[in-house]
Amino acid sequence: MLGIRGSNHERPGANAQQLARIIAAAVMAGELSLLSALAAAHLIKAHMAHNRSAPATPASSRGGEGGLLVKAKEGGEARARGEGGVGG
């Protein structure tokens, strides 16, 4: 389809270079599209329209505080002080 199948016997590595150019062009087009959507505020409007602005977890609604990692850290600090824990 792209004309870069297999190896190039005349110029070794030419097909790999062409594939790299195609991939780079696709990535650059995606980045340009994302940046233009951000600049025009289309991305924000789409997220708001599809309700993707709601907090994903209860921990995120408290400003990022909480969650399993924070609770585990707090539990470790409590055990270090001799409070709580198993058998304590």
Q: So what's the pLDDT on residue 88?
A: 47
Query: CA–CA separation, 56 vs 47, rounded Å?
Result: 13
Q: How far is CA 27 from CA 1, 5, 19, 66, 76, in A?
A: 19, 21, 12, 36, 44
Task: Show the tokens assigned to 82.
Answer: 């001799």
Over residues 33-88, the pLDDT tens digits come to 999 988 888 888 888 888 766 666 665 555 555 555 555 555 555 555 555 555 54
